[in-house]
Protein backbone atom coordinates (compact mmCIF):
# COMPACT_ATOMS: atom_id res chain seq x y z
CA UNK A 1 0.00 0.00 0.00
CA UNK A 2 1.41 3.37 -1.08
CA UNK A 3 2.00 6.27 1.31
CA UNK A 4 -0.71 8.28 -0.46
CA UNK A 5 -3.27 5.51 -0.06
CA UNK A 6 -2.35 5.01 3.59
CA UNK A 7 -2.81 8.75 4.18
CA UNK A 8 -6.20 8.74 2.44
CA UNK A 9 -7.46 5.75 4.37
CA UNK A 10 -6.08 7.08 7.62
CA UNK A 11 -7.71 10.47 7.03
CA UNK A 12 -11.04 8.86 6.28
CA UNK A 13 -10.84 6.78 9.46
CA UNK A 14 -9.98 9.87 11.52
CA UNK A 15 -13.01 11.74 10.10
CA UNK A 16 -15.27 8.80 10.90
CA UNK A 17 -13.94 8.38 14.42
CA UNK A 18 -14.45 12.10 14.99
CA UNK A 19 -18.06 11.70 13.84
CA UNK A 20 -18.42 8.74 16.22
CA UNK A 21 -17.18 10.91 19.11
CA UNK A 22 -19.56 13.74 18.20
CA UNK A 23 -22.53 11.37 17.89
CA UNK A 24 -21.63 9.57 21.12
CA UNK A 25 -21.91 12.88 22.94
CA UNK A 26 -25.65 12.97 22.21
CA UNK A 27 -26.25 9.21 22.10
CA UNK A 28 -27.99 9.03 25.47
CA UNK A 29 -30.54 11.73 24.58
CA UNK A 30 -30.90 11.01 20.89
CA UNK A 31 -31.19 7.37 19.72
CA UNK A 32 -30.45 8.41 16.13
CA UNK A 33 -26.94 9.42 17.24
CA UNK A 34 -26.28 5.88 18.48
CA UNK A 35 -27.19 4.35 15.12
CA UNK A 36 -25.21 6.87 13.07
CA UNK A 37 -22.19 6.42 15.36
CA UNK A 38 -22.36 2.66 14.91
CA UNK A 39 -22.61 3.04 11.13
CA UNK A 40 -19.57 5.33 11.08
CA UNK A 41 -17.66 2.78 13.18
CA UNK A 42 -18.48 -0.07 10.77
CA UNK A 43 -17.45 2.05 7.77
CA UNK A 44 -14.14 2.81 9.48
CA UNK A 45 -13.70 -0.94 10.01
CA UNK A 46 -14.40 -1.53 6.31
CA UNK A 47 -11.73 0.99 5.31
CA UNK A 48 -9.16 -0.86 7.42
CA UNK A 49 -10.36 -4.36 6.53
CA UNK A 50 -10.39 -3.67 2.77
CA UNK A 51 -6.89 -2.17 2.71
CA UNK A 52 -4.14 -4.15 0.99
CA UNK A 53 -2.19 -6.11 3.55
CA UNK A 54 -4.95 -6.15 6.16
CA UNK A 55 -4.61 -9.94 6.33
CA UNK A 56 -1.23 -9.41 7.92
CA UNK A 57 -2.74 -7.76 10.99
CA UNK A 58 -2.47 -9.73 14.22
CA UNK A 59 -5.62 -11.83 14.82
CA UNK A 60 -6.58 -10.03 18.08
CA UNK A 61 -6.72 -6.78 16.07
CA UNK A 62 -8.01 -8.07 12.75
CA UNK A 63 -10.91 -10.11 14.14
CA UNK A 64 -12.83 -7.20 15.77
CA UNK A 65 -12.24 -5.08 12.65
CA UNK A 66 -13.47 -7.89 10.40
CA UNK A 67 -16.61 -8.45 12.51
CA UNK A 68 -17.39 -4.72 12.67
CA UNK A 69 -16.98 -4.54 8.90
CA UNK A 70 -19.41 -7.44 8.50
CA UNK A 71 -22.08 -5.48 10.39
CA UNK A 72 -21.96 -2.56 7.94
CA UNK A 73 -24.99 -3.48 5.74
CA UNK A 74 -27.18 -3.99 8.83
CA UNK A 75 -25.82 -0.79 10.41
CA UNK A 76 -26.64 1.08 7.20
CA UNK A 77 -30.20 -0.27 7.16
CA UNK A 78 -30.72 0.68 10.80
CA UNK A 79 -29.16 4.15 10.48
CA UNK A 80 -31.10 5.06 7.33
CA UNK A 81 -34.31 3.88 8.98
CA UNK A 82 -33.58 5.97 12.08
CA UNK A 83 -32.74 9.10 10.09
CA UNK A 84 -35.48 8.98 7.47
CA UNK A 85 -38.31 7.10 9.24
CA UNK A 86 -39.56 9.25 12.11
CA UNK A 87 -41.43 6.44 13.89
CA UNK A 88 -38.47 4.01 13.70
CA UNK A 89 -37.90 1.62 16.58
CA UNK A 90 -35.08 -0.93 16.81
CA UNK A 91 -36.54 -4.45 16.51
CA UNK A 92 -35.31 -7.97 17.04
CA UNK A 93 -34.94 -8.61 13.30
CA UNK A 94 -32.40 -5.80 13.01
CA UNK A 95 -30.23 -7.64 15.52
CA UNK A 96 -30.85 -10.96 13.76
CA UNK A 97 -29.64 -9.56 10.44
CA UNK A 98 -26.46 -8.21 12.01
CA UNK A 99 -25.75 -11.45 13.86
CA UNK A 100 -26.24 -13.42 10.64
CA UNK A 101 -23.69 -11.20 8.89
CA UNK A 102 -21.30 -11.66 11.80
CA UNK A 103 -21.73 -15.42 11.56
CA UNK A 104 -20.90 -15.38 7.86
CA UNK A 105 -17.80 -13.30 8.59
CA UNK A 106 -16.62 -15.75 11.25
CA UNK A 107 -17.09 -18.69 8.89
CA UNK A 108 -15.17 -16.79 6.23
CA UNK A 109 -12.13 -16.50 8.49
CA UNK A 110 -11.92 -20.30 8.75
CA UNK A 111 -12.96 -21.48 5.28
CA UNK A 112 -14.52 -20.04 2.13
CA UNK A 113 -17.44 -22.21 0.95
CA UNK A 114 -19.20 -20.80 -2.10
CA UNK A 115 -22.66 -21.29 -0.56
CA UNK A 116 -21.72 -19.10 2.42
CA UNK A 117 -20.28 -16.40 0.16
CA UNK A 118 -23.45 -16.36 -1.93
CA UNK A 119 -25.70 -16.20 1.15
CA UNK A 120 -23.52 -13.45 2.64
CA UNK A 121 -23.69 -11.41 -0.56
CA UNK A 122 -27.46 -11.86 -0.94
CA UNK A 123 -28.11 -10.81 2.65
CA UNK A 124 -25.80 -7.78 2.36
CA UNK A 125 -27.45 -6.61 -0.86
CA UNK A 126 -30.91 -7.13 0.63
CA UNK A 127 -30.09 -5.02 3.69
CA UNK A 128 -28.57 -2.27 1.57
CA UNK A 129 -31.67 -2.21 -0.62
CA UNK A 130 -33.89 -2.07 2.46
CA UNK A 131 -31.90 0.92 3.69
CA UNK A 132 -32.22 2.63 0.32
CA UNK A 133 -35.95 1.89 0.30
CA UNK A 134 -36.32 3.59 3.67
CA UNK A 135 -34.45 6.59 2.30
CA UNK A 136 -36.69 6.94 -0.76
CA UNK A 137 -40.10 5.64 0.30
CA UNK A 138 -41.08 8.52 2.56
CA UNK A 139 -39.97 11.35 0.29
CA UNK A 140 -43.48 12.28 -0.85
CA UNK A 141 -44.71 12.86 2.71
CA UNK A 142 -41.48 14.27 4.20
CA UNK A 143 -42.01 17.80 5.47
CA UNK A 144 -38.34 18.48 6.34
CA UNK A 145 -37.19 20.19 3.16
CA UNK A 146 -33.42 19.66 3.53
CA UNK A 147 -33.88 16.00 4.42
CA UNK A 148 -36.31 15.57 1.53
CA UNK A 149 -33.84 16.97 -1.00
CA UNK A 150 -30.98 14.84 0.30
CA UNK A 151 -32.92 11.56 0.19
CA UNK A 152 -32.20 10.98 -3.51
CA UNK A 153 -28.50 11.82 -3.16
CA UNK A 154 -28.09 9.54 -0.16
CA UNK A 155 -29.79 6.71 -2.02
CA UNK A 156 -27.95 7.18 -5.31
CA UNK A 157 -24.46 7.53 -3.87
CA UNK A 158 -24.88 4.72 -1.36
CA UNK A 159 -26.46 2.36 -3.86
CA UNK A 160 -23.87 2.91 -6.57
CA UNK A 161 -20.87 2.60 -4.29
CA UNK A 162 -22.13 -0.21 -2.04
CA UNK A 163 -23.41 -2.42 -4.83
CA UNK A 164 -20.23 -1.82 -6.84
CA UNK A 165 -18.18 -2.77 -3.79
CA UNK A 166 -20.05 -6.04 -3.33
CA UNK A 167 -19.99 -6.80 -7.05
CA UNK A 168 -16.26 -6.19 -7.27
CA UNK A 169 -15.54 -9.28 -5.20
CA UNK A 170 -17.18 -11.34 -7.91
CA UNK A 171 -15.76 -9.45 -10.90
CA UNK A 172 -12.01 -9.75 -10.32
CA UNK A 173 -9.65 -11.33 -7.77
CA UNK A 174 -9.04 -9.20 -4.72
CA UNK A 175 -12.03 -6.95 -5.35
CA UNK A 176 -11.43 -3.33 -4.40
CA UNK A 177 -8.36 -4.42 -2.42
CA UNK A 178 -6.55 -5.22 -5.68
CA UNK A 179 -3.57 -2.95 -6.22
CA UNK A 180 -4.94 -1.67 -9.54
CA UNK A 181 -8.02 -0.07 -7.98
CA UNK A 182 -7.19 0.16 -4.28
CA UNK A 183 -5.85 3.73 -4.46
CA UNK A 184 -8.86 4.94 -6.49
CA UNK A 185 -11.16 3.24 -4.00
CA UNK A 186 -9.43 4.94 -1.08
CA UNK A 187 -9.67 8.34 -2.76
CA UNK A 188 -13.37 7.84 -3.53
CA UNK A 189 -14.09 6.73 0.02
CA UNK A 190 -12.30 9.73 1.51
CA UNK A 191 -14.14 12.15 -0.77
CA UNK A 192 -17.55 10.65 0.03
CA UNK A 193 -16.89 10.51 3.77
CA UNK A 194 -15.67 14.11 3.79
CA UNK A 195 -18.78 15.18 1.86
CA UNK A 196 -21.17 13.45 4.26
CA UNK A 197 -19.20 14.72 7.27
CA UNK A 198 -19.53 18.31 6.04
CA UNK A 199 -23.24 17.87 5.36
CA UNK A 200 -23.69 16.40 8.82
CA UNK A 201 -21.97 19.31 10.57
CA UNK A 202 -23.83 22.12 8.81
CA UNK A 203 -26.43 23.48 11.27
CA UNK A 204 -29.25 23.50 8.70
CA UNK A 205 -28.53 19.96 7.61
CA UNK A 206 -28.05 18.58 11.11
CA UNK A 207 -31.31 19.94 12.45
CA UNK A 208 -33.15 18.61 9.42
CA UNK A 209 -31.56 15.20 8.98
CA UNK A 210 -31.39 14.11 12.60
CA UNK A 211 -34.31 14.82 14.92
CA UNK A 212 -33.50 16.97 17.92
CA UNK A 213 -33.75 15.20 21.29
CA UNK A 214 -37.02 16.95 22.13
CA UNK A 215 -38.61 16.03 18.81
CA UNK A 216 -37.31 12.49 18.93
CA UNK A 217 -39.03 11.95 22.24
CA UNK A 218 -42.34 13.48 21.27
CA UNK A 219 -43.06 12.22 17.78
CA UNK A 220 -46.08 10.25 18.94
CA UNK A 221 -47.31 12.97 21.25
CA UNK A 222 -47.64 15.87 18.83
CA UNK A 223 -51.00 17.64 18.98
CA UNK A 224 -53.62 16.17 16.69
CA UNK A 225 -54.83 19.63 15.70
CA UNK A 226 -53.24 22.91 14.74
CA UNK A 227 -52.51 25.13 17.75
CA UNK A 228 -55.07 27.91 17.93
CA UNK A 229 -52.45 30.65 18.08
CA UNK A 230 -49.46 30.74 15.71
CA UNK A 231 -47.39 33.16 17.79
CA UNK A 232 -45.45 30.30 19.44
CA UNK A 233 -44.07 29.31 16.04
CA UNK A 234 -40.73 30.86 15.07
CA UNK A 235 -40.79 34.05 12.95
CA UNK A 236 -44.38 33.93 11.73
CA UNK A 237 -44.57 36.29 8.78
CA UNK A 238 -47.79 37.80 7.47
CA UNK A 239 -48.00 35.31 4.54
CA UNK A 240 -47.34 32.45 6.97
CA UNK A 241 -50.04 33.68 9.33
CA UNK A 242 -52.49 33.89 6.43
CA UNK A 243 -51.49 30.40 5.28
CA UNK A 244 -51.93 28.96 8.77
CA UNK A 245 -55.38 30.54 9.02
CA UNK A 246 -56.38 29.04 5.67
CA UNK A 247 -54.92 25.67 6.64
CA UNK A 248 -56.78 25.70 9.96
CA UNK A 249 -60.05 26.50 8.21
CA UNK A 250 -59.49 23.77 5.62
CA UNK A 251 -58.88 21.12 8.29
CA UNK A 252 -61.05 22.20 11.20
CA UNK A 253 -64.04 23.51 9.26
CA UNK A 254 -63.95 21.85 5.84
CA UNK A 255 -62.62 18.53 7.24
CA UNK A 256 -60.49 17.79 4.17
CA UNK A 257 -58.62 15.16 6.18
CA UNK A 258 -61.63 12.91 5.63
CA UNK A 259 -60.47 12.41 2.03
CA UNK A 260 -58.56 9.10 2.13
CA UNK A 261 -56.32 10.06 -0.81
CA UNK A 262 -55.40 13.50 0.55
CA UNK A 263 -51.80 14.36 -0.31
CA UNK A 264 -49.66 17.40 0.17
CA UNK A 265 -50.06 18.13 -3.54
CA UNK A 266 -53.87 18.13 -3.42
CA UNK A 267 -53.93 20.14 -0.20
CA UNK A 268 -51.58 22.75 -1.66
CA UNK A 269 -53.90 23.02 -4.68
CA UNK A 270 -56.90 23.52 -2.42
CA UNK A 271 -55.02 26.25 -0.53
CA UNK A 272 -53.58 27.69 -3.75
CA UNK A 273 -50.05 27.81 -2.38
CA UNK A 274 -46.87 26.03 -3.56
CA UNK A 275 -46.05 22.65 -2.06
CA UNK A 276 -42.74 23.82 -0.61
CA UNK A 277 -44.50 26.62 1.25
CA UNK A 278 -47.09 24.25 2.67
CA UNK A 279 -44.29 21.96 3.85
CA UNK A 280 -42.64 24.95 5.48
CA UNK A 281 -45.85 25.89 7.31
CA UNK A 282 -46.50 22.43 8.68
CA UNK A 283 -42.87 21.65 9.53
CA UNK A 284 -41.35 24.95 10.69
CA UNK A 285 -44.43 26.60 12.14
CA UNK A 286 -46.29 23.59 13.54
CA UNK A 287 -43.41 21.19 14.29
CA UNK A 288 -44.56 18.19 12.25
CA UNK A 289 -42.06 16.18 10.19
CA UNK A 290 -44.35 13.89 8.17
CA UNK A 291 -47.49 14.82 6.26
CA UNK A 292 -49.23 11.48 6.73
CA UNK A 293 -48.69 11.58 10.49
CA UNK A 294 -49.93 15.18 10.55
CA UNK A 295 -53.17 14.36 8.72
CA UNK A 296 -53.66 11.11 10.63
CA UNK A 297 -53.60 13.14 13.83
CA UNK A 298 -56.84 14.80 12.75
CA UNK A 299 -58.33 11.51 11.63
CA UNK A 300 -57.48 9.81 14.92
CA UNK A 301 -58.89 12.73 16.91
CA UNK A 302 -62.18 12.44 15.04
CA UNK A 303 -62.25 8.66 15.51
CA UNK A 304 -61.56 9.05 19.23
CA UNK A 305 -64.46 11.48 19.57
CA UNK A 306 -66.81 9.11 17.73
CA UNK A 307 -65.73 6.09 19.78
CA UNK A 308 -66.21 8.07 22.99
CA UNK A 309 -69.76 9.06 22.08
CA UNK A 310 -72.38 6.68 23.58
CA UNK A 311 -74.80 7.88 20.92
CA UNK A 312 -72.57 6.27 18.26
CA UNK A 313 -72.09 2.96 20.08
CA UNK A 314 -74.05 1.15 17.37
CA UNK A 315 -71.97 2.63 14.52
CA UNK A 316 -69.52 0.02 13.18
CA UNK A 317 -65.86 0.77 13.80
CA UNK A 318 -65.19 0.30 10.09
CA UNK A 319 -67.66 3.07 9.31
CA UNK A 320 -66.00 5.37 11.83
CA UNK A 321 -62.58 4.63 10.31
CA UNK A 322 -63.75 5.29 6.75
CA UNK A 323 -65.62 8.45 7.75
CA UNK A 324 -62.47 9.77 9.45
CA UNK A 325 -60.47 9.36 6.24
CA UNK A 326 -58.75 5.98 6.60
CA UNK A 327 -58.85 3.84 3.48
CA UNK A 328 -59.34 0.53 5.27
CA UNK A 329 -59.68 -0.98 8.73
CA UNK A 330 -56.15 -2.44 8.96
CA UNK A 331 -54.17 0.83 8.82
CA UNK A 332 -56.73 2.44 11.13
CA UNK A 333 -56.41 -0.28 13.78
CA UNK A 334 -52.60 -0.09 13.70
CA UNK A 335 -52.51 3.71 13.85
CA UNK A 336 -55.13 3.84 16.61
CA UNK A 337 -53.33 1.24 18.75
CA UNK A 338 -50.01 3.06 18.29
CA UNK A 339 -51.64 6.39 19.20
CA UNK A 340 -53.72 5.37 22.21
CA UNK A 341 -52.26 2.05 23.34
CA UNK A 342 -55.71 0.43 22.92
CA UNK A 343 -57.57 -1.17 20.06
CA UNK A 344 -60.61 0.79 18.84
CA UNK A 345 -63.01 -1.65 20.50
CA UNK A 346 -61.08 -1.52 23.80
CA UNK A 347 -61.04 2.27 23.64
CA UNK A 348 -64.81 2.38 23.00
CA UNK A 349 -65.56 0.05 25.91
CA UNK A 350 -63.35 2.10 28.24
CA UNK A 351 -64.94 5.40 27.23
CA UNK A 352 -68.57 4.35 26.98
CA UNK A 353 -68.65 2.11 30.05
CA UNK A 354 -69.34 -1.10 28.16
CA UNK A 355 -72.20 0.15 26.01
CA UNK A 356 -73.04 -2.35 23.28
CA UNK A 357 -70.90 -1.75 20.22
CA UNK A 358 -70.58 -2.86 16.62
CA UNK A 359 -67.08 -4.07 15.72
CA UNK A 360 -67.33 -3.78 11.95
- Mind listing the pLDDT tens digit for each residue in 79-117? 999 988 888 889 999 999 999 999 998 887 777 778 888
What local confidence, expressed as pLDDT, does residue 325 receive? Answer: 94
| Residue of 6, 18, 76 lying closest to 48 (CA atoms) | 6
- CATH architecture assigned to 222-352: Orthogonal Bundle (1.10)
What local confidence, expressed as pLDDT, does residue 210 receive? Answer: 38
Q: Which contacts (CB < 8 Å, 24+ apart) does range 306-310 have? A: 307/344, 307/347, 307/348, 307/351, 307/352, 308/347, 308/348, 308/351, 308/352, 309/352, 310/352, 310/353, 310/355
Strand ranges, E, within 83-142: none
Q: Which CATH number fits domain 3-216: 1.20.1070, 3.40.50, 1.10.3470, 2.60.40?
A: 1.20.1070
**Residues with pLDDT less than 50, the chain:** 201-233, 356-360
What local confidence, expressed as pLDDT, does residue 22 receive? Answer: 84
What local confidence, expressed as pLDDT, does residue 52 receive? Answer: 79
Distance between CA atoms of residues 221 and 189, nearest Å:
40
**Three-class secondary structure of residue 90 per DSSP:** coil
Distance between CA atoms of residues 64 and 169, nearest Å:
21
What local confidence, expressed as pLDDT, does residue 226 receive? Answer: 47
| Residue of 14, 29, 13, 34 lying closest to 78 (CA atoms) | 34
What local confidence, expressed as pLDDT, does residue 235 receive? Answer: 55
Strand ranges, E, within the chain: none
Where do the structural domains in the chain lie, given as residue ranges? 3-216, 222-352
Write the DSSP symbol of residue 312: G
Cα torsion at 161, 166, 170, 173 (round to 10°)?
Answer: 80
Helices 3-25 + 31-49 axis angle, to 10: 160
What local confidence, expressed as pLDDT, does residue 38 receive? Answer: 92
What local confidence, expressed as pLDDT, does residue 123 receive? Answer: 93
Amino acid sequence: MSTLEAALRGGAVVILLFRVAVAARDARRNPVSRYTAFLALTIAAYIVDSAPGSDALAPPLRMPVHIANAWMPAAFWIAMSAIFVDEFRLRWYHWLAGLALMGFALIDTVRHPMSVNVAHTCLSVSLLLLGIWNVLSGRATDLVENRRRLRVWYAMITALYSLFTIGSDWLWPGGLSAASVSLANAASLTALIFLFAVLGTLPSAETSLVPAPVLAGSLTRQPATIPPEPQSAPSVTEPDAAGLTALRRMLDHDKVFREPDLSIATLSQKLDIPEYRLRHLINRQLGHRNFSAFVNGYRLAEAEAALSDPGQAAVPILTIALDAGFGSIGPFNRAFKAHTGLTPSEYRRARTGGVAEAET
